[in-house]
Each structure stands twice: as structure tokens, then as C-alpha cells.
Amino acid sequence: MGKQAEITIHDIAKKLGISASTVSRALNNNPLISKATQAKIKETAAKMGYRPNTMAANLRTRKTNTIGVIVPLINRHFFSSVISGIEDVAYNSGFAVTITQSNDSFEKEEKIAQTLYSNRVDGVIVSIGMETTKFNHLKHFSERNIPLVFFDRVVDEIEAHKISVDDFNGGFKATQHLIEQGAKKIAHIGGPLNLNIYRKRLDGFCAAMKKAGLEVDRQMLLHNSLTRTDGTNAIKKLLKNPQKPDAIFCANDTTALSVIIYLVENGIKIPEDIMVVGFSNEPFSEVVTPSISTIRQPGFEMGQKAAELIIEQIKQKNQPSLFQNIVMPTELIIRQSSFKKKG
């Protein structure tokens, strides 16, 4: 088979009768090398089919030009949007991206973090898993001056750049909208409270209720993992209450979808009997019937921003004295599932 030998700078050097250092410098556009020599070296390198061995360079320079990314699940629209944004910016800055998924398992998240460290990634962008309540595996990075950027599911306990959407405001706007549409008994199906995105959405919900002088009924607050099944169970539970809700704010669109499907199946009218608002603006939200009112999260842009921040940190070597806490604005998208009348 065409078992081509691997070509190194030494091969090029030998062929041209010069030293490897000169070849290395020429290929890196080092101005110490004369234009003539550089041209000759580059030409020969191309002709010989030379491809630099990044590992060797990495080992020597102690840089990998690689950004590690940890997300709960790649195959989720929001996360894959973020990844896409990260990849976009990283690629244009000459960085590779290593993607890993924790599957919301703490154990896997820890192992992944170790692997990324062993691979000496230059920086890590992470959104923590649902089970994560300890953070040593992540502190490890900042302790070693390896830039860390959190997005969406951020960690308060660690100093780092953080990018999140305005979950509080999102929860607030969603709830206020329901109130404006005439809701009085609003339920909330939220996520695990160890994740502050869900705490904040809940806080926003409560704040809007309080502002409107409405009571938050304990029975109307449910928390689970926000899967399709969880959503169905939650709506069943809510409908068993003596006090039935006239509106539900779900902490994600998946749950909202479950709720809607269950309600439609059981002949309960949306939005007339019960209004529903979700969170995240998943692609299906727009096209389902009734279409789901939701809070838009700019995933791609968050990814871009995360990559920009981490690359900036990587380039300026030492940790910045001031960490940014970027809160992306949320946008309420009103669709059929909650639209009765002009607010």
C-alpha cells in the first residue's frame, strides 16, 4: 500500500542541506530567515507533502491550540447550537475543539475533566451536569491557570467568566405574560434546584407573581428532570390537585410539549382552559400545534462569546483580574399556547 513515510523538518533540512532550525523558523514565518530561503523551504515542504506534527510542537511549546468543551448532551438543540458557535469562532482563530458529553452523570463529568487535563487543552468551556454539586474537578483547571468559561449552567463557587441567559428575567417575563393574559393560578414545572438556571427561573416566576399580588401555591410547584416523561407525570399530578392551574410555566420546552400533548389528548383547551409557556425555543416549539410560547436563548451567540472569551484568556496567558459575568438578554416569544388577547 502507499505506505508513505512521514516527513519531518529534518527531511526537508537534509534535502536542502540546511539545518532543521532554519526549516522550522521558515515555516513559522520567523523574520530571522531570509525571504529567499523561506520561499525555497516552503516550496520544498509543499512538494514533499510535509504536514507538521502538532504533537511535537505542542509538547515543546506547552500549548495545544485546543479547547475542551463539556456539555451534558451533544444531541440537544441548545447545546449543539452552542457547540456550533464555539467551533465557528475557534476554527477562525486556529483552535481545534474537543467535545465531550457528561450525559448529566457526575462520575463521567469528573473523568472527562481528567482526560481533558491530560490532553493539556488550553482552556475548557463547560456547562455542568444535573448531578453536579461538587466542583473539585473543575477547580483543578483554574488552580492550574487553565482558562475556564462557564455557560448556561454556571457555577457560582468558581471564579471564571460566565455566560448565561437572563433566566430570572426570562422566568419573570414568561410569568408576567401569563398574568397579563388573565392567569391567576399559575403552576411551575421546574428543574433541579442545584442548577442555578432553574433556581433563577423559579425566582423570576415568584417575583412576577408577587408583583401582581398573586399567591404562589406550594402544590403548584413541581421539580423534576424535565424529560418528556417527567413532563407528563407532572401535568397528571397538577390536574389531580383540587386547585387546578389556569396556566403553566415550564422550565423547558420539552416539558411544555409533554404538557400540551397530554392536555390536547384529554380535551383540555389551550390556551382557553390552560395556557402554557416553555423555555429555550427548541425548533419544534414553533411548528407544533398549538405552537409553544417560549423564551429564546441565543445558543449560537453564546457559543461564539464563550469561545472569544476563552481565546482571549488563553492568549494573554495569566488569568484576568476581572471575570465577566455576561448575561444574554432573553426574548419572550408569544405563540398560540398562551395567546388569548393583547397584553
Give the residues lining the site for DNA (CB under 7 A): 6, 8-10, 13, 17-22, 24-25, 27-28, 31-38, 50, 52-53, 56-57, 59-62
Binding a copy of itself (rule: CB under 8 A), the pick from 158, 207, 261, 334 is 261
- If binding is defined by CB under 8 A, does position 52 make contact with a copy of itself? yes
DSSP conformational letter for 68: E
- If binding is defined by CB under 8 A, does position 144 make contact with a copy of itself? yes
List Cβ neighbours of 192 (8 Å cut-off, separation of 6 or more).
130, 198, 223, 224, 225
Lookup: cell for 159: 471564579
Write the interaction track for a copy of itself spanning residues 321-340; mark x where CB under 8 A is met and - where it is not. --------------------
Closest distance between a copy of itself and the C-beta of residue 17, in Å? 26
Whichever of 36 and 46 has its CB closer to DNA, that residue is 36
Lookup: cell for 28: 513559522
d(CA 204, CA 208): 6
20 binds, among DNA, a copy of itself, none (CB under 5 to 8 A by kind): DNA
28 binds, among a copy of itself, DNA, none (CB under 5 to 8 A by kind): DNA
The dihedral region occupied by 233, where left means phi > 0, alpha psi between -120 and 50, and beta the remainder, is alpha
Q: How many residues does the chain have?
A: 343
Residue with cell string 406550594: 218
Residue 149, beta-bridge partner list: 125, 161
Phi, psi angle pair for 249, to nearest 5°: -105, 115
User: Which residues of the shown chain bind a copy of itself in the complex (CB under 8 A)?
Assistant: 1-4, 6, 51-56, 58-59, 64, 66, 73-77, 80-81, 83-84, 87, 91, 96-101, 108, 112, 114-115, 117-120, 143-145, 257, 261, 282-284, 287-289, 300, 319
